[in-house]
Amino acid sequence: NAGVMQNPRHLVRRRGQEARLRCSPMKGHSHVYWYRQLPEEGLKFMVYLQKENIIDESGMPKERFSAEFPKEGPSILRIQQVVRGDSAAYFCASSLGSGTGTYEQYFGPGTRLTVT
């Protein structure tokens, strides 16, 4: 059973360009989380999605960032007009369910975004 897949693993963008990060959850998982890890810091929650629904986006920057998890296909984290401060590792996690802390989140290998 394949784990959580993320692509690309490394992404280089120039300031002002758009970055698209993809996440394919584990088979059977319909819950996806996105986290950002800045250099020398821990992971910070960004957004939690279920199929076709954004459940919690309390960690998303108000501008330039958006996320979706369509009925078919991977979850996409989109960053428009990237700036140097967006350089970070972006991790996706998936789970079978949510609530009560009983559903383990399985993490992908991450996408390392570098903005030049």
Partner 1 sequence: AQSVTQLDSQVPVFEEAPVELRCNYSSSVSVYLFWYVQYPNQGLQLLLKYLSGSTLVKGINGFEAEFNKSQTSFHLRKPSVHISDTAEYFCAVSPGGATNKLIFGTGTLLAVQP
Of 17 and 98, which has the nearer Cβ to partner 1?
98
**Which residues inside 48-67 make contact with partner 1, applying CB under 8 A?**
48, 55-56, 59
Of 79 and 90, which has the nearer Cβ to partner 1?
90
- Give the largest CA-CA distance in the chain: 41
CA angle (79 as vertex; 75, 82 as ends), nearest 5? 155
**Which residues inside 23-42 make contact with partner 1, applying CB under 8 A?**
33, 35, 40-42
Q: Does 1 bind partner 1 (CB under 8 A)?
A: no
The number of CA neighbours under 13 Å toward the Cβ of 50 is 6
Residue among 57, 53, 74 at smallest CA distance from 65: 57
Choose which of 45, 68, 76, 114 interacts with partner 1 (CB under 8 A). 45
Residue among 62, 113, 61 at smallest CA distance from 84: 113
The pattern of x and - marking residues 3 through 22 that bind partner 1 according to CB under 8 A reads -x------------------
Q: Does 87 bind partner 1 (CB under 8 A)?
A: no
Choose which of 30, 64, 76, 107 interacts with partner 1 (CB under 8 A). 107
> In this structure, what DSSP letter does residue 105 have?
P
> In this structure, what DSSP letter does residue 109 have?
-
